[in-house]
Amino acid sequence: MFKILLNLNLLVCVFGRKPNIVFILSDDMGWNDVGFHGSNQIPTPNIDALAYNGVVMNRYYTQHICTPSRAALLTGNYPIRSAMQGYPLKPGENRSIPTEMSVLPERLKELGYKTHLVGKWHVGFSYKKYTPNERGFDTFFGYWNGFISYVNYNMQYYNEVGNDGFDLHENTAYAKNYEGTYATNLFTDKSLEIIDNHDTNEPLFLMISHLAPHAGNEDNMNALTTPDLDETNKKFGYVEDPRRRNYTDIVYQLDKSIGRVVEKLSEKKILENSIIIYSNDNGAQTSGDFHMNSGSNWPLRGQKFTLFEGSVRGTCAVYSPLIKNAPYVNENLMHISDWLPTLYEAAGGDMSKLGILDGISQWDNILNNKASRNELLVNIDERLKYSAYIDYSGQYKLVNSSYQRPDGSNVYDVYAGDTGRGANNPKYNISEILESPTNLAISKITAKTITKQNIIDARTNLDISGRCRQNISNKMIDCKEKMCLFDLFDDPCETTNIIDEFPEIGKKISIKMQDYYNVLVPQKPNVDDQTSNPKLCDGYYFSWLEEDACPFKKSGGDTLYSYTMISTALVLSLTLSLYYF
Ligand SMILES: *[C@@H]1O[C@H](CO)[C@@H](O)[C@H](O)[C@H]1NC(C)=O
Ligand SMILES: *[C@@H]1O[C@H](CO)[C@@H](O)[C@H](O)[C@H]1NC(C)=O
Ligand SMILES: *[C@@H]1O[C@H](CO)[C@@H](O)[C@H](O)[C@H]1NC(C)=O
Ligand SMILES: *[C@@H]1O[C@H](CO)[C@@H](O)[C@H](O)[C@H]1NC(C)=O
Ligand SMILES: *[C@@H]1O[C@H](CO)[C@@H](O)[C@H](O)[C@H]1NC(C)=O
């Protein structure tokens, strides 16, 4: 009887109402930093519960860094269409997603959704028209830049002048008085408020775009802030490296947040008609000199900024009671730009209205495990001169050169990060997953509750660490001298260049990639406009190209004049800044 009621309920949902969509995006979180990929180091019971109850998109690709990834997610197009394929936005750059391109929240609004963004934006704010409230979000609570302090919501950016400004906004106002509240908790509280206040007669789109586990400010040695160091050390003392230990707690807090969100959807009785997506934006920045967070992409090769798998093979789990075939692991190719058409279709939109996009709807794929994509452009950075392309249903990947660090070293290309399998780590705690708020909430609305054995089986299957073709600690093929071709089915860790064995395949893929070289929209100059400096607005970031965008009295004329002079000199002398995020 219960089952029949349940099914009737689902039918009503499917035919009567558009699904609620909750999209949870983490920042710089590594492949090896969720439990369901096989690491025992960081407990992520709630993300794991989404994965084991839902669909793991196991061949899911993001972009290689934050701004391109967010541009692809929001526009449904490769970033080469919006000139966003290169470095992430520095705070004083006037770039944005072109206003003539529709973005995901605008599309969902057309279908009647209430749309909310909590957390990071990072696709432009020089003009108000580039900011979230004018790009389809009914409400916005978060920050415009690429990162922020976990406790005081200042964004520190040390260029030649030295930007350091407050960057937390509630819609168009500055969100003051939150100093001291830990960012992950604050963003969670705001998300719960949105769900609480939501009128369930309308469909909800909530994007929770976390700071975690990105480094919290420019200071590289103390930027991985946890809520309470004593607690961190007590709970995660088994992690030897203190930075990695903090990172572990940061991810653990992010996971707890997801549990609270799912619990709230359940309380509000809308979980039964919701789609919940967990995704990272790109791989971790394990080491290096900026924003290294000690995250781990192991055993995949490379870190953020590169086009190797450690950077672009994303972690993604989709849970929804609307997916009748779940739980299962989906091995079909998907790209982050696919979310716009996928969610538009899930929401019952008329697909012909979307026009031509690089993104391909994966809704049928997610529901029915039917491949709809054979290939994808990983990226082309025409300025830094490196690119990659995946073809043959995900089997072959062509890598044309590598990301060049300013100092010429190749630390970003290497295998790095904790294996999470060492004997110092605790055993994987399956009860913790079964008893997680996420699993408990899901158990209430499903007839297919998962078991301990389901979890063990799924996890064994999802752990790719035994499938590297060669011992990765010995291997580092260079793709600069000669292009690389990798067989990702046989060699997911990209250890062996097979371009000489399969020149025809390499040729065929390079012709396709060339087609994209021919149509890409070239990048704009990465000029950090010093008139954007928060010092010119009493320490607040503001839409500096807008008349009167700073609500505070600007500093005196003399100061403004000297900044203008400095900025003129800087604009002339600035080439690419060394500060990336
Ligand atoms: C944006 O910045 C670039 C580089 O400084 C400049 O050439 C361009 O005119 C600026 N555009 C706007 C709209 O301010
Ligand atoms: C770890 O977090 C604490 C706050 O709990 C902070 O004081 C400390 O600087 C952090 N360590 C690192 C390496 O970021
Ligand atoms: C490889 O990169 C070089 C340098 O950017 C570019 O000129 C060339 O067209 C690329 N080749 C392919 C096959 O994409
Ligand atoms: C595993 O998780 C359960 C449920 O959270 C907890 O009660 C138990 O103490 C954990 N076991 C270990 C060995 O930590
Ligand atoms: C891989 O190579 C490293 C370094 O040479 C060695 O310590 C390790 O035992 C090797 N692992 C395997 C599985 O062969």
Last residue of a domain, one of 415, 443, 471: 443
Written as one letter, the residue type at 531 is T
- The preferred substitution site among 386, 517, 520, 523 for testing ligand 3, maximizing ligand atoms within 8 Å of CB, is 517
What would the mean pLDDT of 107-112 be, rounded to a whole number?
98
Assess whether 439 and 569 both reside in one domain.
no
The neighbouring-strand residues paired with 227 are none
The residue annotated as part of the active site, out of 13, 64, 66, 493, is 66
> 13 — phi, psi (to 5°)?
-65, -45
- Ligand with smallest separation from the Cα of 99: 1
- Bridge pairing between strands 139-143 and 114-120: parallel
In the prediction, which pLDDT does 473 show?
A: 76
Last residue of a domain, one of 393, 422, 443: 443
Please check whether residue 399 lies inside any domain of the structure.
no
What would the mean pLDDT of 182-211 be, rounded to a whole number?
98
Å from CA of 415 to ligand 5 middle: 13
Please check whether residue 390 lies inside any domain of the structure.
no
> Is it the case that residue 526 has pLDDT exceeding 70?
yes
Q: Is residue 157 very low, low, confident or very high in pLDDT (cuts 50, 70, 90)? A: confident
pLDDT, averaged across the chain? 92
> Is it the case that residue 123 has pLDDT exceeding 90?
yes
CATH number, domain of 293, equals 3.40.720.10
In the prediction, which pLDDT does 471 show?
A: 84
What would the mean pLDDT of 152-176 be, rounded to a whole number?
87
Residues with CB under 6 A from ligand 3: 385, 387, 400-401, 510, 513-514, 517
Q: What is the CA radius of gyration of the chain?
A: 23
In the prediction, which pLDDT does 300 show?
A: 97
In the prediction, which pLDDT does 509 show?
A: 98
In the prediction, which pLDDT does 16 show?
A: 65
What would the mean pLDDT of 12-26 be, rounded to a whole number?
82
Please check whether residue 92 lies inside any domain of the structure.
yes
Which has more confidence, 384 or 580? 384
Q: Is 169 a catalytic residue?
A: no
What would the mean pLDDT of 43-65 be, rounded to a whole number?
98
Last residue of a domain, one of 392, 419, 443: 443
Q: How many domains does the chain have?
A: 2
Q: Is 12 in the pocket of ligand 2 (CB under 6 A)?
A: no
Assess whether 533 and 438 both reside in one domain.
no
Distance from C-alpha of 547 to C-alpha of 552, rounded to nearest angstrom: 13
Assess whether 227 and 351 both reside in one domain.
yes
Which range of residues forms the domain containing residue 172?
2-373+432-443
Sequence-distant (6+) residues with CB within 8 A of 172 are 128, 131, 133
What would the mean pLDDT of 230-237 be, rounded to a whole number?
98
Q: Is 13 a catalytic residue?
A: no
In the prediction, which pLDDT does 380 show?
A: 98
Please check whether residue 478 lies inside any domain of the structure.
no
Assess whether 438 and 553 both reside in one domain.
no
Please check whether residue 37 lies inside any domain of the structure.
yes
What would the mean pLDDT of 502-531 be, rounded to a whole number?
96
Assess whether 92 and 228 both reside in one domain.
yes
Assess whether 19 and 125 both reside in one domain.
yes
In the prediction, which pLDDT does 553 show?
A: 63
Assess whether 436 and 538 both reside in one domain.
no
Please check whether residue 209 lies inside any domain of the structure.
yes
DSSP 578: S
- Bridge pairing between strands 376-381 and 114-120: unpaired
> Is it the case that residue 15 has pLDDT exceeding 80?
no
> Is it the case that residue 84 has pLDDT exceeding 70?
yes
The residue annotated as part of the active site, out of 122, 210, 291, 335, is 122
Sequence-distant (6+) residues with CB within 8 A of 514 are none
Please check whether residue 480 lies inside any domain of the structure.
no
pTM of whole model > 0.85? yes
Distance from C-alpha of 275 to C-alpha of 272, rounded to nearest angstrom: 9
Please check whether residue 454 lies inside any domain of the structure.
no
Q: Is 452 in the pocket of ligand 4 (CB under 6 A)?
A: no
> Is it the case that residue 510 has pLDDT exceeding 60?
yes
